[in-house]
Amino acid sequence: MYVEVAGDGPPLVLLHGWAMHGGIFAPLVERLRGRFRMHVVDLPGHGNSRDCSVPLQLQACVDAIAEVVPAGASWCGWSLGGLIALHAAATRPADVPALAMLCASPRFVRGEDWKHGVAAEVFRDFASGLRDDYRGTLDRFVALEAFGSEHAKDEIRTLREGLFERCEPAASVLAEGLELLETTDLRDTLPGLQVPSLWLAGRRDRLVDPRAMRDAAALAPASTVHVVEHAGHAPFLTHGDEVATRLSALMEQLQ
């Protein structure tokens, strides 16, 4: 599994979202390199981990990442990466002292008792689209990620340029990721979460509703919620200083 290490200070693991790779965090890494030693992971099947044999499943990913990052590192997960980070914090509290959920939810899909998720058909449509129009489907997903942001055009351009900057992810791995987003529900882990958590939302996010993140944080002890005004699904690209400040505040709690 490919991990890029940058900066000096307390260790921080960064996990990217669906179809992307760790390189998308470059603006955030530049802001934080003087404060933290960051371990920026390419998830299995993505970026420079394209040929990694680890399945894109929660426990398998957590175990594989834990082998290549230092124990005692806090984990920050964006979107799909948030599910992996949350699972790590819930199952390895001795190794993961703090958790940051960046536009991520314990459950992405709407249900009778989870009204602020997205419709399951959204992920099924993208899965179907991968078979018929791989690149067009990824382009539509990028547009959805940026939709609503006050800097949508710039955000779309950055995400599009980043998609294939490293190795092109396999369609089979992307399908596994969509299934993970559609079927995972980690809400039951939240009341027993033993580490402080930060829930960073984008006010205009169309994939992860800020209200869902507030509801999730309310279930977790020692949680903090911050909503980035005018941001979409990738506030670390459009409001990097604000995101960096909030992450730094979370890490300062550990000192």
Look up tokens 């699904």; give the residue. Answer: 233
Q: What is the DSSP letter of 167?
A: P
Q: What is the 3-state secondary structure (H, E, C) of 44-59?
A: CCCHHHCCCCCCCCHH
CA separation for the pair 7, 30 (Å, rounded): 8
Marked catalytic residue, from 49, 74, 79, 197 = 79
Taking residue 119's Cβ as centre, other Cβ atoms within 10 Å add up to 10
CA separation for the pair 232, 149 (Å, rounded): 4
3-state secondary structure of 33: coil
Q: What is the CA radius of gyration of the chain?
A: 16
Identify whether 188 is a catalytic site residue: no
- The closest alpha carbon to 120, from 201, 178, 171, belongs to 178
Q: What is the 3-state secondary structure (H, E, C) of 124-146?
A: HHHHHHHHHCHHHHHHHHHHHHH
Identify whether 172 is a catalytic site residue: no
Marked catalytic residue, from 42, 205, 209, 215 = 205
Marked catalytic residue, from 21, 226, 233, 239 = 233
List beta partners, residue 102: 78, 200
Query: Is the CB of residue 90 less than 8 Å from the CB of residue 192?
Result: yes
Identify whether 128 is a catalytic site residue: no
What positions carry a catalytic annotation?
79, 205, 233
